[in-house]
Copies of this chain bind each other. A is one copy, B any other.
Amino acid sequence: MNKDPLKHDTAEPCLDARIRTKNEWDALTPAEIGLFNRNVVCRTYDAGRVIFGQGDQCRGLYIVERGLVAVRKVDENGLSAIVRLAHQGDTLGYRPLLAKENHRATAEVIKDSRICFADAPIMHRLLLSNPQLGMRFLEHTAQALGEAEERLFQVAALSVRTRIIHILILLRSHYGKTTSDGTLYLDMPMSWRDLADMIGARPESVSRTLRDIKDDGLINLNGRKVRIDRVDRLVDELHHSVHH
């Protein structure tokens, strides 16, 4: 626990933790890791904080060491949508850095997080000195593009109910625990309001639809804790699911 959420803390080398989780960074040589660690700045953020804002210039790259961050888009009419979540080990701000654009979205902390920042000059230096790193990012970005297109398809074609079920299944890997008897316990990290923003729906619709799913006996609700006795029945519904 860090008492002061604003205190920089460069003593702890971020990449040591990261490197274990097999992502783009393991392309770096020991010397590059040293360079990285000397220049990276880490701090903790409380839930609700904003890491960078839509329209801001992109100053560098953020790595989520722990916690959860939502990437949100808001338009001039106040319409809001969460386009991506960043979990432990995920990188934030690489899209505008690589596309040489300003931030097109706001990154806001959902669960208290520890975030490492690497500024743009360092990143460009590393990318130049180690093409492998670029290839890793390329692969990663290409996968992210695939996921974005997948979600595009889903939001365009599927009902709120189906989209909620999708999210539940999706968050299983990060926030779910399956007991020996096959029961799945999901501890949802975000508010229902944010869930609504993730699937492009109103909070009221999410509330009602969750109740419907519960009434159908597919899930049990207790605050943000979801118990799913028969995951297979949920998955079934996805495959037989209907239009809007």
The interface of chain A, by Cβ under 8 A from chain B, is 73, 75-77, 79-81, 83-84, 94-101, 104-105, 127, 131, 134-135, 137-139, 141-146, 148-153, 155-158, 199-200, 239-243
Residue of B nearest to A145 (CB): B145
Let me know if B73 and A149 touch, CB within 8 A: yes
Let me know if B135 and A83 touch, CB within 8 A: no
Q: Which residues in B have their C-beta under 8 angstroms from that of A79?
A: 153, 157-158, 243
Do A146 and B99 form a contact, CB below 8 Å, given A138-B137, A155-B155, A200-B157?
A: yes
Knowing that A138-B141, A141-B142 touch, tell me 11 more A-B residue pairs with CB under 8 angstroms: A79-B157, A81-B152, A81-B157, A98-B139, A104-B149, A134-B134, A134-B135, A141-B145, A144-B145, A155-B156, A156-B199
Let me know if B200 and A155 touch, CB within 8 A: yes
CB distance from A175 to the nearest CB of B (A): 22
Partner of A138, one of B98, B150, B155: B98
| Chain A residues touching B, majority SS | helix
Residue of B nearest to A149 (CB): B83
Q: Which residues in B have their C-beta under 8 angstroms from that of A137?
A: 138
Q: Which residues in B have their C-beta under 8 angstroms from that of A139?
A: 98-100
Q: Which residues in B have their C-beta under 8 angstroms from that of A95?
A: 142, 145-146
A76→B153 CA distance, assembly (Å): 13
Do A77 and B242 form a contact, CB below 8 Å, given A135-B134, A141-B138?
A: yes
